[in-house]
Amino acid sequence: MKKVFPDSSVEKEIIGEIIGFNKIQKSNACNLISNITGDNSRDTVSFGTEAGLFQEIGISTVVCGPGSIEQAHKIDEFVSFDQLKLCIKMLDGVKKYLIN
């Protein structure tokens, strides 16, 4: 831009920030979900959630849900019925854990 218009500039104003969610090795929340689902993966994706806020105040936190990030947050996003069934199974497992 400076080549086209030497007096040009870019100004940045931060109007909101999200605290990053850090992948940690020992996580009670991750272990719970892994035990319920049998999925021991610890994948990461580059999008923001409130998870970092909970983690910052010492709450063990996991971000999980049905579907694939490949179909999420885009035009024509979708979650398959099979993924929804797995999600309900996971939520039932969390409910059983909380009741006991």
**pTM value?**
0.71
Q: What is the pLDDT of residues 27-64, one digit of tens each?
A: 999 999 999 999 888 887 777 889 999 999 999 999 88
DSSP string, 51-74: HHHHHHTT-------SS-TTTTTS
Q: Which two tokens stand for residue 41?
A: 């993966």
